[in-house]
Structure 1
Amino acid sequence: MASGPISSACMASDRRARSRALCGCIQAAADQTLSRSEQRRAVAFYKDPHSAQEIRQSDRERDERFWKAYRAYGDRAERLCR
Protein backbone atom coordinates (compact mmCIF):
# COMPACT_ATOMS: atom_id res chain seq x y z
CA MET A 1 0.00 0.00 0.00
CA ALA A 2 1.52 3.30 -1.06
CA SER A 3 1.26 6.41 1.05
CA GLY A 4 1.72 10.03 0.12
CA PRO A 5 -0.14 13.25 -0.56
CA ILE A 6 -2.70 11.76 -2.94
CA SER A 7 -3.48 8.89 -0.56
CA SER A 8 -3.89 11.30 2.36
CA ALA A 9 -6.21 13.58 0.37
CA CYS A 10 -8.20 10.57 -0.79
CA MET A 11 -8.69 9.30 2.77
CA ALA A 12 -9.64 12.79 3.99
CA SER A 13 -12.24 13.20 1.24
CA ASP A 14 -15.93 12.62 1.74
CA ARG A 15 -16.18 10.17 -1.15
CA ARG A 16 -18.10 7.03 -0.23
CA ALA A 17 -15.89 4.65 -2.20
CA ARG A 18 -12.72 5.62 -0.36
CA SER A 19 -10.78 2.92 1.46
CA ARG A 20 -7.18 2.42 2.48
CA ALA A 21 -6.75 -0.09 -0.31
CA LEU A 22 -8.24 2.16 -3.00
CA CYS A 23 -6.44 5.30 -1.81
CA GLY A 24 -3.16 3.36 -1.59
CA CYS A 25 -3.63 2.07 -5.12
CA ILE A 26 -4.37 5.57 -6.40
CA GLN A 27 -1.19 6.79 -4.67
CA ALA A 28 0.81 3.99 -6.31
CA ALA A 29 -0.47 5.12 -9.71
CA ALA A 30 0.49 8.70 -8.84
CA ASP A 31 3.98 7.56 -7.80
CA GLN A 32 4.40 5.89 -11.19
CA THR A 33 3.10 8.84 -13.20
CA LEU A 34 3.39 12.19 -11.38
CA SER A 35 6.30 14.00 -9.82
CA ARG A 36 6.00 14.96 -6.15
CA SER A 37 5.24 18.57 -7.08
CA GLU A 38 2.55 17.41 -9.54
CA GLN A 39 1.07 15.23 -6.79
CA ARG A 40 0.91 18.19 -4.43
CA ARG A 41 -0.80 20.20 -7.15
CA ALA A 42 -3.32 17.42 -7.80
CA VAL A 43 -4.23 17.24 -4.10
CA ALA A 44 -6.00 20.59 -4.53
CA PHE A 45 -8.58 18.84 -6.75
CA TYR A 46 -9.90 16.92 -3.76
CA LYS A 47 -10.74 20.15 -1.94
CA ASP A 48 -11.73 22.18 -4.98
CA PRO A 49 -12.79 20.05 -7.97
CA HIS A 50 -13.46 23.20 -10.00
CA SER A 51 -9.73 23.99 -9.96
CA ALA A 52 -9.20 20.94 -12.18
CA GLN A 53 -11.53 22.45 -14.77
CA GLU A 54 -9.65 25.74 -14.63
CA ILE A 55 -6.33 24.02 -15.24
CA ARG A 56 -7.79 21.86 -18.00
CA GLN A 57 -9.04 24.94 -19.82
CA SER A 58 -5.93 27.03 -19.23
CA ASP A 59 -3.81 28.13 -22.17
CA ARG A 60 -0.63 28.27 -20.09
CA GLU A 61 2.02 25.80 -21.24
CA ARG A 62 2.78 24.74 -17.66
CA ASP A 63 -0.88 23.91 -17.06
CA GLU A 64 -1.11 21.99 -20.33
CA ARG A 65 1.93 19.86 -19.41
CA PHE A 66 0.48 19.20 -15.97
CA TRP A 67 -2.91 18.28 -17.40
CA LYS A 68 -1.36 15.74 -19.79
CA ALA A 69 0.51 14.15 -16.89
CA TYR A 70 -2.61 14.23 -14.73
CA ARG A 71 -4.66 12.51 -17.45
CA ALA A 72 -1.99 9.81 -17.81
CA TYR A 73 -2.16 9.33 -14.03
CA GLY A 74 -5.95 9.06 -14.13
CA ASP A 75 -5.81 6.48 -16.91
CA ARG A 76 -3.22 4.44 -15.01
CA ALA A 77 -5.16 4.62 -11.75
CA GLU A 78 -8.31 3.50 -13.52
CA ARG A 79 -6.51 0.46 -14.98
CA LEU A 80 -4.71 -0.48 -11.74
CA CYS A 81 -7.35 0.21 -9.12
CA ARG A 82 -10.56 -1.31 -10.44
Structure 2
Amino acid sequence: MKKPALAAALAVLVLPSLAAAGGPIERACLRSDRQAANASTCNCIQQVADMTLRSGDQRRAAKFFANPDEAQEVRFSGRSSDSAFWRRYKSFGEAAQAYCG
Protein backbone atom coordinates (compact mmCIF):
# COMPACT_ATOMS: atom_id res chain seq x y z
CA MET A 1 0.00 0.00 0.00
CA LYS A 2 2.83 2.40 0.79
CA LYS A 3 4.70 1.87 -2.50
CA PRO A 4 1.88 3.08 -4.78
CA ALA A 5 1.36 6.15 -2.58
CA LEU A 6 5.07 6.91 -2.65
CA ALA A 7 5.18 6.47 -6.43
CA ALA A 8 2.21 8.81 -6.85
CA ALA A 9 3.80 11.42 -4.60
CA LEU A 10 7.06 11.25 -6.53
CA ALA A 11 5.22 11.56 -9.83
CA VAL A 12 3.43 14.68 -8.59
CA LEU A 13 6.73 16.23 -7.53
CA VAL A 14 8.98 15.13 -10.41
CA LEU A 15 6.84 15.15 -13.55
CA PRO A 16 6.02 18.87 -13.55
CA SER A 17 9.70 19.77 -13.30
CA LEU A 18 10.55 17.43 -16.16
CA ALA A 19 7.80 18.90 -18.31
CA ALA A 20 8.93 22.43 -17.53
CA ALA A 21 12.47 21.66 -18.63
CA GLY A 22 11.39 20.84 -22.17
CA GLY A 23 13.46 19.12 -24.79
CA PRO A 24 16.10 20.55 -27.08
CA ILE A 25 13.65 21.36 -29.88
CA GLU A 26 11.25 23.14 -27.52
CA ARG A 27 14.04 25.18 -25.93
CA ALA A 28 15.46 26.18 -29.32
CA CYS A 29 11.98 27.05 -30.57
CA LEU A 30 11.29 29.29 -27.59
CA ARG A 31 14.63 31.08 -28.02
CA SER A 32 14.05 31.65 -31.72
CA ASP A 33 12.84 34.94 -33.14
CA ARG A 34 10.03 33.34 -35.14
CA GLN A 35 6.60 34.92 -34.77
CA ALA A 36 4.85 31.61 -34.21
CA ALA A 37 7.23 30.64 -31.40
CA ASN A 38 5.05 30.42 -28.32
CA ALA A 39 4.98 27.95 -25.45
CA SER A 40 2.07 25.96 -26.82
CA THR A 41 3.42 25.59 -30.34
CA CYS A 42 6.98 24.88 -29.22
CA ASN A 43 5.73 22.24 -26.77
CA CYS A 44 3.67 20.62 -29.51
CA ILE A 45 6.68 20.51 -31.83
CA GLN A 46 8.75 18.92 -29.05
CA GLN A 47 6.08 16.27 -28.53
CA VAL A 48 6.27 15.37 -32.21
CA ALA A 49 10.07 15.33 -31.99
CA ASP A 50 9.84 12.93 -29.04
CA MET A 51 7.70 10.61 -31.15
CA THR A 52 9.75 10.80 -34.35
CA LEU A 53 13.39 11.68 -33.62
CA ARG A 54 16.12 10.12 -31.53
CA SER A 55 17.67 12.34 -28.86
CA GLY A 56 20.81 12.93 -30.93
CA ASP A 57 18.68 13.91 -33.92
CA GLN A 58 16.75 16.33 -31.70
CA ARG A 59 19.93 18.02 -30.52
CA ARG A 60 21.18 18.29 -34.09
CA ALA A 61 17.87 19.65 -35.39
CA ALA A 62 17.66 22.17 -32.53
CA LYS A 63 20.78 23.85 -33.91
CA PHE A 64 18.87 24.68 -37.09
CA PHE A 65 16.74 27.21 -35.19
CA ALA A 66 19.80 29.36 -34.52
CA ASN A 67 21.61 28.57 -37.77
CA PRO A 68 19.28 27.73 -40.70
CA ASP A 69 22.27 27.62 -43.05
CA GLU A 70 23.46 24.51 -41.24
CA ALA A 71 20.23 22.78 -42.28
CA GLN A 72 21.00 23.50 -45.91
CA GLU A 73 24.55 22.19 -45.52
CA VAL A 74 23.17 18.93 -44.15
CA ARG A 75 20.46 18.77 -46.81
CA PHE A 76 22.92 19.04 -49.67
CA SER A 77 25.72 17.03 -48.10
CA GLY A 78 26.87 13.96 -49.96
CA ARG A 79 27.37 11.95 -46.77
CA SER A 80 25.03 9.00 -46.35
CA SER A 81 24.63 9.72 -42.62
CA ASP A 82 23.49 13.26 -43.43
CA SER A 83 21.04 11.92 -46.03
CA ALA A 84 19.59 9.49 -43.49
CA PHE A 85 19.29 12.24 -40.90
CA TRP A 86 17.64 14.54 -43.44
CA ARG A 87 15.00 11.92 -44.25
CA ARG A 88 14.18 11.57 -40.54
CA TYR A 89 14.20 15.34 -40.09
CA LYS A 90 11.90 15.86 -43.09
CA SER A 91 9.45 13.28 -41.74
CA PHE A 92 9.54 15.05 -38.37
CA GLY A 93 8.83 18.39 -40.04
CA GLU A 94 5.87 17.00 -41.97
CA ALA A 95 4.44 15.40 -38.84
CA ALA A 96 4.93 18.59 -36.81
CA GLN A 97 3.19 20.63 -39.50
CA ALA A 98 0.25 18.22 -39.59
CA TYR A 99 -0.03 17.89 -35.82
CA CYS A 100 0.84 21.40 -34.65
CA GLY A 101 0.32 23.59 -37.71
Please, what TM-score do these two structures have when normalized by structure 1? 0.95
Of residues 30, 33, 39 in structure 2, which corresponds to 1:14?
A: 33
- After superposition, give the CA deviation of every residue in 1:17-40 in whole Å (9 maximum; x if it has no partner): 111100000001101110000000
Structure 2 alignment gaps of length 5 or more: 1-18
Q: Percent identity?
A: 45
Mean CA deviation greater in 2-11 or 71-80: 2-11
Provide the C-alpha distance between the structure 2 equivalents of 1:47 and 1:21, rounded to a whole number of angstroms: 20
Structure 1 alignment gaps of length 5 or more: none
1:14 aligned counterpart, secondary structure: coil
Q: Do residues 36 (structure 1) and 55 (structure 2) align? A: yes
Q: Which has the higher contact order (CA 8 A, sep 6+)?
A: 1
How do 1:42-81 and structure 2 match up within 5 A?
42-81=61-100
Q: Do residues 24 (structure 1) and 22 (structure 2) align? A: no
Provide the C-alpha distance between the structure 2 equivalents of 1:23 and 1:12, rounded to a whole number of angstroms: 10
Q: May I ask how many residue pairs the two structures share in their alignment?
A: 82
**Quick check: which one's helix share is greater?**
2
> Which structure: larger Rg?
2
Runs of 4+ in structure 1 displaced over 3 angstroms? Answer: none
Provide the C-alpha distance between the structure 1 equivalents of 2:35 and 2:86, rounded to a whole number of angstroms: 26
